[in-house]
Amino acid sequence: MVGLRSLRILLLSTPVGPLGSGLGGGVELTLQNIAKILQAQGHQIAIAAPAGSIYPGFAVVEIPGHPQPTAQSAGRDALITLPENSVLGNLWEYAWRVQADYDLLLNFAYDWLPFYLTPFFQTVVAHLVSMGSLTDAMDEIIDRVARQFPGTIGVHSAAQAATFTFAEHCRVLGNGLDLSLYEFCSTPEPYLGWVGRLAPEKGLEDAVIVAEKTGIPLKIWGVMPDVPYWHDICDQYPDAPIAYEGFLPTAELQRALGRCQALLMTPHWVEAFGNVAIEALACGVPVIAYRRGGPAEIVSHGKTGWLVEPGSIEGLVEAVHRRSEINRFTCRAEAEAKYSLTAMGDRLEEWFRYLLPSIQSRP
Ligand code: UDP
């Protein structure tokens, strides 16, 4: 494939929290990986992100202001809100001021403002939408941009796109990892893993019930934005063999995750992708997930894990009993074949070539 000429691209991060805090969920890792591969492909990458963001090796423009509340559990008719001195507003004011320095602005925020502002920019704005349909107001504004600026809406999975009215206008990009950072582990220890934000839409309680029913210890990693949610689970299932291990940076997370016999993914929503699924596979860890959303596209049933009817605890328990039927080498091989950073980079370049038809390919 002929590469694009070097593009100047500004990545605008999520306003939910600083890069490295974990509050932004999978978006943080996704943005970091995309920055890394685009830079390796020869593009000039700048990142604008909330103050306190850390990403060694990249110049991060730190934008002050109050974080955006999370959208996940707001309800379909939730109104658009912004705090006073909003970091989201400040990020996009910054983008407005510097737009002439860039060929492309890439939005990672699942927020109304960047979509609303899109027609007012001279520089092309592309959006990488990180969640499925959540609220009517967000659906309406993304729909409007999708129709007015065809091709500018990127998503991670077909299942995610299908939650929107504008599914056919979405570009499915999947995701990719720097696989060199994930070590293959062939000799797991006797525990299961669960990784993600400890929040209701992630359905941690289902995995805890599985631990209780099977007696197999469950280790849990992730940020805890909703402490009462965690305490409720502990109160409800006092005998479940579970341990909360905190939020770890990628280098430590992959080491711990690699030792799991299987990863349980039990979301109660349509998971747009599920970075943790491909992180597990990269370490050789089978994934046991509900057959819905991104994980259902990532996990190959019977080959790299087991897909279970959403909400079926019995199904999860049965899959846990069959975890050793999955070959851990196959899991790693699948990650290498489908989720490398270079494959993701190629898909992104193809997208940018479509978005910027006047950009010349490299000679
Ligand atoms: N994560 C992490 N350390 C932890 C637990 C989780 O860095 O201790 C990261 C993980 O690498 C992944 C993200 O949290 O990138 C969760 O993303 P996912 O796409 O699975 O779900 P989301 O939070 O976006 O809904």
Q: Are residues 53 and 185 in the same domain?
A: no
What is this structure's pTM?
0.96
Q: Are residues 13 and 153 in the same domain?
A: yes
Q: Does any domain span residue 1?
A: no
**Centre of ligand 1 from the C-alpha of residue 34, in Å:** 15
**Which residue, judged by its Cα, is nearest atom 1 of ligand 1?**
222
Q: Are residues 172 and 213 in the same domain?
A: no
Cα–Cα distance for residue pair 79/148, rounded to 1 Å: 23
Q: Are residues 148 and 126 in the same domain?
A: yes
**Which residue, judged by its Cα, is nearest atom 15 of ligand 1?**
26
Nearest partner of 262 among 206, 209, 321, 204, judged by Cα: 321
The CB of 248 under 6 Å from ligand 1? The reply is: yes
The CB of 114 under 6 Å from ligand 1? The reply is: no
Domain containing residue 241: 179-338
**Centre of ligand 1 from the C-alpha of residue 335, in Å:** 17
**Centre of ligand 1 from the C-alpha of residue 93, in Å:** 28
**Centre of ligand 1 from the C-alpha of residue 275, in Å:** 6
Q: Residue 360: its pLDDT value, please?
A: 54
Identify whether the C-beta of residue 264 lies closer than 8 Å to the C-beta of residue 288.
yes
User: Exposed/middle/buried for 229, CB within 10 Å: 0-12, 13-18, 19+?
Assistant: middle
Q: Are residues 303 and 210 in the same domain?
A: yes
Q: Does any domain span residue 2?
A: no
Q: Residue 59: its pLDDT value, please?
A: 86
Give the Cβ contact number of residue 340 at 10 Å. Answer: 18
Contacts of 363 (CB under 8 A, 6+ apart): none
Q: Does any domain span residue 202?
A: yes
The CB of 293 under 6 Å from ligand 1? The reply is: no
Number of compact structural domains in the chain: 2
Please tell me the total number of residues recorded for the chain in this structure.
363
The CB of 203 under 6 Å from ligand 1? The reply is: no
Q: Does any domain span residue 267?
A: yes
**Centre of ligand 1 from the C-alpha of residue 147, in Å:** 31
**Centre of ligand 1 from the C-alpha of residue 26, in Å:** 5
Instruction: Identify which of 276, 279, 290, 341 to mutate to test ligand 1's pocket (most ligand atoms within 8 A of the CB).
Output: 276
Q: Hey, which residues does 306 pair with through a beta bridge? A: 288
Q: Are residues 199 and 327 in the same domain?
A: yes
Nearest partner of 11 among 154, 131, 143, judged by Cα: 154
Q: Does any domain span residue 361?
A: no
**Centre of ligand 1 from the C-alpha of residue 362, in Å:** 35
Identify whether the C-beta of residue 257 lies closer than 8 Å to the C-beta of residue 279.
yes
Q: Are residues 201 and 287 in the same domain?
A: yes
Q: Residue 267: its pLDDT value, please?
A: 98
Q: Residue 237: its pLDDT value, please?
A: 98
Q: Residue 359: its pLDDT value, please?
A: 64
Domain of residue 301, CATH code: 3.40.50.2000
pLDDT tens for the chain, residues 1 to 363: 456 789 999 999 999 999 999 999 999 999 999 999 999 999 999 999 999 999 989 989 999 999 999 877 778 999 999 999 999 999 999 999 999 999 999 999 999 999 999 999 999 999 999 999 999 999 999 999 999 999 999 999 999 999 999 999 999 999 999 999 999 999 999 999 999 999 999 999 999 999 999 999 999 999 999 999 999 999 999 999 999 999 999 999 999 999 999 999 999 999 999 999 999 999 999 999 999 999 999 999 999 999 999 999 999 999 999 999 999 999 999 999 999 999 999 999 999 999 998 665 544
The CB of 275 under 6 Å from ligand 1? The reply is: yes
Helices (H), ranges, the chain: 26-40, 87-98, 112-117, 136-148, 158-161, 204-214, 227-236, 250-258, 275-283, 293-298, 313-321, 328-338, 341-355
Contacts of 274 (CB under 8 A, 6+ apart): 26, 265, 267, 289, 293, 294, 295, 298
Q: Are residues 142 and 235 in the same domain?
A: no
Using the structure block, give the residue that is written with the tokens 């592309």: 126
Q: Does any domain span residue 363?
A: no
The CB of 273 under 6 Å from ligand 1? The reply is: yes
Instruction: Identify which of 195, 197, 252, 283 to mutate to test ligand 1's pocket (most ligand atoms within 8 A of the CB).
Output: 195
Q: Are residues 134 and 230 in the same domain?
A: no
Identify whether the C-beta of residue 93 lies closer than 8 Å to the C-beta of residue 63.
no
Q: Residue 36: its pLDDT value, please?
A: 98
The dihedral of CA 87, 164, 275, 44: what is its sign?
negative
Structure token pair of residue 45 = 């990458």
Q: Are residues 192 and 95 in the same domain?
A: no
